Amino acid sequence: MNKVHNFSAGPGILPAEVLKQASEACINFDNMNLSLLEISHRSKNYEKVMDEARSIVKELFEVGDEYEVLYLGGGASMQFAMIPYNLLRENGTAAYVNTGVWASKAIKEAKMIGNTNVIASSEDKKFTYIPKGYDIPKDADYLHITSNNTIYGTQLKQFPKSPIPLVCDMSSDIFSRKINAKDFDVIYAGAQKNMGPAGSTMIMVKKDALGKTGRKMLSMLDYQVHIKGGSMYNTPPVFPIYVSLLTLQWLKKNGGIAWIEKINQQKADLLYNEIDRNALFFGTVEKEDRSNMNVCFLLHKQELEAEFDKLWKEANISGIRGHRDVGGYRASLYNALPLESVQVLVDVMKEFEKKFA
């Protein structure tokens, strides 16, 4: 079978060994002669999965017992509502930085919960840069940021020094680079871009940030209820959590975040250098804010698009069509994508230049 080079923006590529382990668990999980898909989530065999899936996040992020880790359903979009519901006081204010579609959706949900201020935005230039130098209100309940913007291809290279609790949506670059996780009160991420399949969202929350809103909480939306229930207050998304665990085990086994950060930088440098060198392509965002996860680029001559499409498809490249809001091309360089695949794409771009420049 010919190798497919999978640049999909999400659900994204997973390590081959993880897919193999996950498929075997669908037939015979933990030598039980039962499928993972048909056993009780309350069984000791699955409780071990949940316990390790939660603990390995704290291990990779190098944080202690002051944090709790949850795996919940509803996608990261559910967290757009759960964040203000759990952190925004009834008479308080939340601060948001708007850097793209998902940040905009988070702001929309927060405004339904309580007072919400957008303190910085890059919407004026169609989200092609990351705002900098903005003032953070010290009297706000929290500051919400998005670390990587999948659709537009921008990424925070430095996180703000926040005098208030810092909340970050890391859905598309979680575990791709070293960060000081202790600077954040909440980190959350949909699993399907960089740490697992669709169907589960990981939330790491500092315990002392909770219980201060003054509102009566609906059980299913209350982080403290889910923490007390060991992330199993209700039936969890069993299979996505298991595959996320396998993916994080793969990351840890190979050298952890420091290991993958070096590879991710190599992948990004290889592709961006070709975009900048090649006469037929150009990047779509400010160079200093370019994402190492989602590389967005366009053709100078759109009439050649069909010819380029033909070449990359012949090379077994998949998933590089740009988002409908941006157009052009987007190559997602998630952790499991090998450097070899990026080289194949670069070789196609060079061949395209020889034919049409």
Write the pLDDT tens digit of every residue in 273-319. Answer: 999 999 999 999 999 999 999 999 999 999 999 999 999 999 999 99
Mean pLDDT of the chain: 97
Structural class in CATH, domain 16-254: alpha beta
- Catalytic annotation on 193? yes
> Residue 325 pLDDT more than 90?
no
Alpha carbons 150 and 250: distance in angstroms, whole number: 24
How far is residue 202's CA from residue 235's CA, in Å, rounded to a whole number? Answer: 15
Q: Which of 102, 185, 289, 312 is catalytic?
A: 102
User: CA-based Rg of the chain, rounded to a whole angstrom?
Assistant: 21
pLDDT at 2: 74
What percentage of the chain exceeds 70 in pLDDT?
A: 100
- Per-residue pLDDT, averaged over 107-117, amounts to 98
| pLDDT on residue 299 | 97
Using pLDDT thresholds of 50, 70 and 90, give the confidence band for residue 3: confident
Tokens representing residue 106 in the block: 């988070």
Q: Which of 202, 142, 200 is nearest to 175 (CA)?
A: 202
Q: Is the pLDDT of residue 76 over 60?
A: yes
Q: What is the pTM of this model?
A: 0.97
Closest by Cα among 168, 150, 169, 172 to 160: 168
Say how many Å lie between the first and final Cα of the chain, rounded: 33
Tell me the average pLDDT across 247-260.
98
User: For residue 1, is pLDDT > 70?
Assistant: no
The single residue of 169, 173, 185, 222 carrying the catalytic annotation is 169
Where are the chain's structural domains?
16-254, 256-356
- Per-residue pLDDT band for 352 (boundaries 50, 70, 90) equals very high
Q: What value does the mean pLDDT take over residues 1-19?
A: 93
Residue 185 annotated in active site: no
Residue 326: which pLDDT band, with cuts at 50, 70 and 90? Answer: confident
pLDDT at residue number 324: 87
CATH of domain 256-356: 3.90.1150.10
Residue of 173, 185, 193, 206 marked catalytic? 193
